[in-house]
Structure 1
Amino acid sequence: MESTTHDVIIIGGSYAGLQAAMTLGRSLRKVLVVDGGKPCNRQTPHSHNFLTHDGHTPAQIAAEAKAQLAAYPTLEFLEDTASSAVKNADLFEISTIFGRKFNARKLLFATGIADVMPNIKGFVECWGITVIHCPYCHGYEVRGQATGVFGNGDGGYEYVKMISHWAGGVTLFTNGASTLTDEQTSKLKSHQINIIETPVAEVVHQNGIITNVKLADGSKLPLAALYAHLPFKQHCELPMLLGCELTESGHIKNDGFGKTNVNGVYAAGDCVDPLRSVASAVRGGMAAAAFINKELINEDF
């Protein structure tokens, strides 16, 4: 099969990937964006805290971005999923699940992360709607309302402390025996923050909108929102197969501007950035693309 060579292949076409494509297109680079069309925020009804797009749907933002990118003739989009990536001499070869092959001098992974959901009925259906992770993205919309935090230990303590700034009343669900210190427990109780150790059995909802949380003992607690920091894994294994190192948190290690430990391989967006917001993803995509372009200039000069 004949291969096509690009300056850069971007794997992942959400916010970081789209911004990187724009930056590289404006840098006169031949770019291919390979995207499977399953962004991690596909259930989220509205995106917030992104200047000029506050309250727009994720799909609206992506559609407008793609319409603007159509003005750059060196950009190409492919609805497909990368299945392998190998380094051959000075080029990377990408294969897709539909049998296509492409070559590029540089790779940029903007593939995001995959949340590992707890085995709790209703949790998945509410994720990104009323089971949420970020108060800067969603906190204003549920301000002053009865709010739960799903967490435990030091992480749960810091999380519930932050969420209490937005919430009208907060309950910490440790989903089992509390691992809070005595001092942490006392501090939370002094702020009228209830701690429930009984495991959560179900997030009761109507079309993703929480009505209450049902506990293992059958009791129910009305809630408007439930915050959760979930464990995650990399959505795409290809960076690690190429030799990219991960941080202790599980993100792809980079130099702050997207460059990984593997020469020619960059990463941007949620796969590297714990801030996990549209604005942060856009920033990361732009920075990585600018440094990729600089690296290409240096090699060709």
Structure 2
Amino acid sequence: MAGHKKEFDVIIVGGSYAGLSAAMALGRSLRETLVIDSGEPCNRQTPHSHNFLTQDGKTPKEISSLARQQVGQYRTVHFLEGIALAGAKTKSGFEIVTQAGGHLRGRKLIFATGVRDKMPDIPGFAACWGISVIHCPYCHGYEYRHRRTAVMANGDRALHLASLVSNLTGELTVLTNGKADFTDEQTSKLKAHGIPVSEKEVKRIDHLNGYMQQVLFQDGTKLHVDALYASIPFGQHTGIPLSLGCALTEQGYLQVDGAHRTTVPGIFACGDNSSRMRSVANAVSGGNLAGAMANLELAADRF
């Protein structure tokens, strides 16, 4: 725990895979580091994590618990369970205010805060999210190979997902949940690959403990599927980076360069908040680099 310490070399907001990876890099460089975490990662409903070497098939909790244990061995890394509410620039760096009223100062900031998915108003959708309603063929597709599958998306995004998922199953349907928005060329591609398109509006998803059984449409018809890939909007999990002046990309991610620097000097971002590739492996990689680059700047400031 952080105890009564108020000043750190780096404050990391978010203590899941990206944040812990950044903390390890900093701990191994003897940097006084604080990790602030609420304990609610976005993949907490996901039964198993995949496509991450040495950890394939482990639960998200198993991976994060082991990571926390290993990072905790570095004595300069401190943990604070809580929520960061606000941030401000100071003469020597930045200040973070927590929900508990703490005022903590760091020379550098790393935001590993992820994103907040905006669930559609479809009964059953949220309960299945991360279990059988999924977003990534690389993270979940193999487990649903050769199964009855649907893609709920439209336009370019639907075609992108369909092209990837069609390699995993021959039983694939695209649900546009309203009028389809495809070019003639896209429509021809879907037809050529035998992928039907349904414009029916989805009423609800019937499931058992998060595992889909069928999609019920507004007209009363049903589609029996085992998995549904969905492309849904998202927002940043915290507004603190924006309040400090960090820019967003057109897609809504925190804008970072190749070293995970945001547009504000001294502030870094890593993980889902700044990358379209939402996976544990990518989060760990990004966090490792962000931690190393923050350490590099600290060294340059001092040396």
Is this a same-fold pair by TM over 0.5? Answer: yes
The CA deviation at 1:117 is: 0.9
Provide the rounded CA distance (Å) in 2 between the counterparts of 1:210 and 1:192: 23
Asked if 1 retains the 8 angstrom alpha-carbon contact of 2:34 and 2:77, the reply is yes
TM norm structure 2: 0.97
For 1:208, which of 210, 233, 236 is the aligned residue? 210
For 1:110, which of 97, 100, 112 is the aligned residue? 112
Provide the rounded CA distance (Å) in 2 between the counterparts of 1:19 and 1:111: 13
For 2:36, which of 26, 34, 37 is the aligned residue? 34
How is 1:83-162 mapped onto 2 (pairs within 5 angstroms)? 83-162=85-164
Partner of 1:225: 227
How is 1:1-301 mapped onto 2 (pairs within 5 angstroms)? 4-301=6-303
The CA deviation at 1:233 is: 0.4
Name the SS of the counterpart of 2:65 in structure 1.
Answer: helix
2:41 partner amino acid: P
Asked if 1 retains the 8 angstrom alpha-carbon contact of 2:93 and 2:266, the reply is no
Kindly, what percent of the aligned residue pairs are identical?
Answer: 52
Provide the rounded CA distance (Å) in 2 between the counterparts of 1:193 and 1:233: 31
Provide the rounded CA distance (Å) in 2 between the counterparts of 1:114 and 1:78: 21
Deviates more, 1:180-189 or 1:272-281: 180-189
Name the SS of the counterpart of 1:45 in structure 2.
Answer: coil
Name the SS of the counterpart of 2:174 in structure 1.
Answer: strand
CA RMSD for the aligned pairs?
A: 1.0
Provide the rounded CA distance (Å) in 1 between the counterparts of 2:75 and 2:5: 20
1:42 partner amino acid: R
Name the SS of the counterpart of 1:269 in structure 2.
Answer: coil
Provide the rounded CA distance (Å) in 2 between the counterparts of 1:112 and 1:167: 30
Provide the rounded CA distance (Å) in 2 between the counterparts of 1:137 and 1:93: 36
Question: Runs (4+) of structure 1 moved beyond 4 Å?
Answer: none
Provide the rounded CA distance (Å) in 1 between the counterparts of 2:145 and 2:194: 17
Which runs of no fewer than 5 residues in structure 1 stay unpaired? none
How many equivalent residue pairs? 300
Provide the rounded CA distance (Å) in 2 between the counterparts of 1:139 and 1:210: 15
Provide the rounded CA distance (Å) in 2 between the counterparts of 1:183 and 1:255: 35
Map Cα deviations across residues 50-97 of structure 1 (whole Å, 9 max, x no partner). Answer: 011101000000100111112111010010000110011112111100
TM norm structure 1: 0.98
The CA deviation at 1:3 is: 6.8
